[in-house]
Structure 1
Amino acid sequence: MARCDLCGNDYDKAFKVTLADGSGGTYDSFECAIQALAPTCEHCGCRIIGHGAESDGRFFCCAHCATHAGVEGIDDRA
């Protein structure tokens, strides 16, 4: 069994996530992996699970949050 890096649970179905830069960890659920690895929206603070939006190194969960943070030219629909 392997221990989750986030919650410490020792679980027989734990899995490893390795990012391109070699970082990552071992997790017992996608929930823990998301909490540990997903970026946070600069405006609302939620974890960005999908593609989200990025502008000048700033991450947002959606165009709405990016617009509220002063970013121009990002739309949810083209």
Structure 2
Amino acid sequence: MAICATCGNDYDKAFTVSWNGLTETFDSLECAAVRVAPECTACGCRILGHGVEASGIMYCCAHCARQAGHPAMVDRQSAIGD
């Protein structure tokens, strides 16, 4: 069995995740997200999707980026011809 890096649970179905030269073991996707997923600079939630980036800072959505002073940020652009 393996010990989860986030919660310390000893679990027989644990898995490893490698990122930025690190490798750690987790017992659930939730524990992996707590340790690996970046946090939104504005609201603090974990960014599990693509998020948005403005001036090199990650946000979970365009709303948070706009609240932080990036008024031009949008979640999606209209397709050509819309």
Q: TM-score, normalised by structure 2?
A: 0.88
Contact conserved, 1:24 with 1:37, CA < 8 A, in 2?
no
Aligned residues: 77
User: Would you identify which runs of 4 or more consecutive aligned residues in structure 1 move more than 4 Å?
Assistant: none
Structure 2, unmatched stretches of 5+, are 78-82
**Computing the radius of gyration over CA atoms, which structure comes out larger, 1 or 2?**
2
Q: Which amino acid aligns with 1:63?
A: A
State the 1:61 CA deviation: 0.3
**2:41 corresponding residue in structure 1:** 42
State the 1:22 CA deviation: 1.3
Structure 1, unmatched stretches of 5+, are none
Q: Deviations over 1:18-61 (max 9, x none)?
A: 01x21131000000000001111111110100000111221100
RMSD: 1.0
Q: TM-score, normalised by structure 1?
A: 0.92
